[in-house]
Amino acid sequence: MDKAQAQEKIESLKALLNQYAHEYYVLDHPSVPDSEYDQKLEELKKIENQYPELITNDSPTQRIGGEPLEGFRKIQHSIPMLSLGNAFNEQDLRDFARRASQGTNKDLAFVCELKIDGLAITLTYENGKFVRGATRGDGTTGEDITSNLRTIKSIPLSIQETRKIEVRGEAYMPHKSFLALNKQREENREELFANPRNAAAGSLRQLDPRIAASRNLDVFLYGIGEWEADTVPTHSERLTQLKKLGFRTNPEWKKCNSIEEVLEYVEYWTKERPNLPYEIDGIVIKIDDLQTQEELGFTVKSPRWAIAYKFPAEEVVTKLKDIELSVGRTGVVTPTAILEPVKVAGTTVQRASLHNEDLIRAKDIRIGDMVVIKKAGDIIPEVVRSLTEQRSGSEEPFHMPEECPACGSELVRLEEEVALRCINPNCPAQLQEGLIHFVSRNAMNIEGLGEKVINQLFSEGLIHTIADIYRLERDELLKLERMGEKSVDNLLSAIESSRENSLERLLFGLGIRFIGAKAAKTLATEFETMDKLQKATYEELIAIDEIGDKMADSVVQYFAEDKVTDLIKELKELQLNMEYKGPKRATVAVDSNPFAGKTVVLTGKMEKMSRPEAKEKIESLGGKVTGSVSKKTDIVIAGEDAGSKYDKAVELGITIWNEEEFIKMLEG
């Protein structure tokens, strides 16, 4: 067989094997026995071994996983992957439907889908080939896990669509795979996975794709992020479209024409949930009409046209053995229940939040009580109530101490607060918690500096303030337990890289009271440099959208502290970046800025800049970029092969610019 014949045979075998895989893993209806598939696969392997230059990424032989990766690169989502708002009862669902109906004059229909308990993913295809897969991450930036996703047999490596398409869904571990994996880990005396979701997430974040390949994961696709050929008017038709393209969709979705039908669907699956071969943790309800979705739009965090109903939290009974105190980075002393281990919603719980002394008194919780535990939102364990009828008389009431358990300073209760605080700025517990916050993912994001390492460095006297992190030396780190040369080098490299972080990460990391990650970004965008922010007045701060009076007051007070001024000076000397690196706010007058306050849609292929670059430029000039054309759209920027969005803009009489006109407007 010469190379040309081999190429022809490979293409034939690939098409046949991909067809067999689709029938088996997506349609659950195989047309040939397993032995036939295995035989064809072996034949393909032999030819590819003979002609390795003919191996392509869409070959079924590439599903087994390649060489281990050194790390995951970051992927910027062109359209954010937003999370959904939650509903916990019938009234929440009725309120959702009422709010949606108030936002449109159309009759509403809904699509209900099972909420798969897995890991949100996005898949990108170009010229019919699967080229990239990523996690949701923080919704804006995810991790490239293409190599691991390629091992999931229900994900097609090629589709009959040459235009670029991005689809979204959930990767999960079926019950059967989960039980087999934990059985194997038990035999190997390895720690068991707590639940299928953790197992799926852990499998897809393995640097060795061969491990992911061995875990037998699966996937359901439920949405389209970006696709020029997406012309259907409803979400229900979009699900059908995904299935026609060869993607695995969950068959249990249902179109409902009223909120009463939605409630019936929720009630049915609340009962039937245990009979599914995979885990679900709720129901997703979406407005079916895509135009209505566009009209309803989004809040800062989630769409107004969809909501996630969460199943009622499982409640269990166990004994409260003790109450332990911890001191947070702001000095708040928090009581935590120490429990006899008990399984709740798939994980073993030994600790649960008690929030504050007032709550303990209100619920009459005592040490030694039998108590009811649940997970708030299926995540955070909390004590619901004590079972007073089961008391023996040996139970002890709990009283908060008058002194800080970490440093012995007097605890105080600030005005209008229920929490007790330690106000000693040198309290070791606060210092450690502040360091842990500074290096966390949403702050300076220093990989390798987790809680355990911070505590180790603190106890060894190597760090006391955040500035000390940037003075760590290789030789002193190598002397510590569990610190090898490679881990030390990686840690120092991560610390070095963090010096270049944009200003908003540093601001959030400093732990200014009331200033979260979003507010830090707002401040960084507005003032652009640390020097300008340090000089900002209360009036200047309160004038900014999204900055309230408490936040403004907190920022002014924070930068008025001499120790903060000294710290900023120290960090500058250590060469930390003090400037905002994101898109700058528009500096031109609004009347001469064609994008300020305008809703813009980008469509078609652009030659001189990428779509994310164009989006960033428009937003920096005060514009808003959306994914679909509606009556609310002000401008459509059309590149080559603009497709249906261009047609819709013509139909609605919306202003349309080509790429050349767009660039002229930017330059102007």
Is residue 404 situated within a structural domain?
no
Structure-model confidence comparison of residues 426 and 319, the more confident one: 319
Q: Is the pLDDT of residue 630 over 90?
A: no
Q: Is the pLDDT of residue 372 over 60?
A: yes
Amino acid at 430: Q
Structure tokens at 587: 């500096």
> What is the count of structural domains for the chain?
6
* Maximum average pLDDT range among 185-189, 197-201, 594-598: 197-201
Q: Is the pLDDT of residue 586 over 80?
A: no
Is residue 10 situated within a structural domain?
yes
- Closest alpha carbon to 630 in 648, 611, 604: 648
Mean pLDDT of 442-462: 93
| Domain CATH for 40 | 1.10.287.610
CA distance 268 to 468: 57
| Domain CATH for 174 | 3.30.470.30
Structure pTM?
0.56
Q: What is the pLDDT of residue 376?
A: 64
Residue 226 sits in the same domain as residue 275 = yes
Q: What is the pLDDT of residue 649?
A: 86
Residue 116 sits in the same domain as residue 163 = yes
Element (H, E) at 552: helix 549-560
CA distance 214 to 400: 51
Q: Which residues pair with 124 in a beta bridge?
A: 132, 166
Q: Is the pLDDT of residue 419 over 90?
A: no
Is residue 39 situated within a structural domain?
yes
Reduce the secondary structure of 464-479 to three states and give it as a string: CCHHHHCCCCHHHHHC
Mean pLDDT of 247-272: 95
Residue 227 sits in the same domain as residue 160 = yes
Mean pLDDT of 252-258: 96
Structure tokens at 297: 């739009």
Q: Is the distance from CB of 63 to CB of 213 less than 8 angstroms?
A: yes
Residue 103 sits in the same domain as residue 204 = yes
Residue 69 DSSP class: P
Q: What is the pLDDT of residue 611?
A: 77
pLDDT tens-digit map of 600-621: 888 887 888 877 788 878 877 8
Residue 100 sits in the same domain as residue 23 = no
CA distance 342 to 31: 46
Q: What is the pLDDT of residue 68?
A: 53
Amino acid at 280: I
Residue 508 sits in the same domain as residue 490 = no
Domain span at residue 325 reads: 315-391
Pick from 573, 598, 633: which residue ends a domain? 573
Residue 118 sits in the same domain as residue 21 = no
Residue 214 sits in the same domain as residue 104 = yes
Element (H, E) at 4: helix 3-21
Is residue 422 situated within a structural domain?
no
Q: What is the pLDDT of residue 69?
A: 59
Percent of the chain with pLDDT over 90: 53
Options 9, 40, 106, 115, the catalytic residue: 115
Is residue 416 situated within a structural domain?
no
Active site residue 632: no
Is residue 23 situated within a structural domain?
yes
Orientation angle between helical segments 34-50 and 3-21, nearest 10 degrees? 150
pLDDT tens-digit map of 280-332: 989 999 999 999 998 898 876 789 999 999 888 778 999 999 999 999 988 99
CA distance 560 to 564: 8
Least confident span in 210-224, 290-304, 515-529, 582-596: 582-596
- Closest alpha carbon to 317 in 347, 349, 355: 349
pLDDT tens-digit map of 375-416: 765 567 889 999 999 999 999 999 999 999 999 999 998 777
Q: What is the pLDDT of residue 585?
A: 59
Percent of the chain with pLDDT over 70: 96
Q: Is the distance from CB of 306 to CB of 284 less than 8 angstroms?
A: yes
Q: Is the pLDDT of residue 70 over 80?
A: no
Residue 507 sits in the same domain as residue 449 = no
| Domain CATH for 439 | 1.10.150.20
Residue 459 sits in the same domain as residue 542 = no
pLDDT tens-digit map of 494-520: 999 999 999 999 999 999 988 988 889
User: DSSP readout, 142-203?
Assistant: EEB-HHHHTT-TTS-SB-S--S-EEEEEEEE--HHHHHHHHHHHHHTTPPPPSSHHHHHHHH
C-beta atoms surrounding 147 within 10 Å: 24
Pick from 391, 419, 444: which residue ends a domain? 391
Which region, left, alpha or beta, applies to residue 175 given φ > 0 means left and ψ of -120 to 50 means alpha? Answer: alpha
pLDDT tens-digit map of 332-346: 999 999 999 998 876
Is residue 70 situated within a structural domain?
no
Is residue 244 situated within a structural domain?
yes
Pick from 528, 547, 573: which residue ends a domain? 573
| Domain CATH for 661 | 3.40.50.10190
Least confident span in 47-61, 88-102, 149-163, 501-515: 47-61
Residue 198 sits in the same domain as residue 321 = no
C-beta atoms surrounding 244 within 10 Å: 11
Mean pLDDT of 126-155: 91
Residue 467 sits in the same domain as residue 512 = no
Q: What is the pLDDT of residue 588?
A: 45
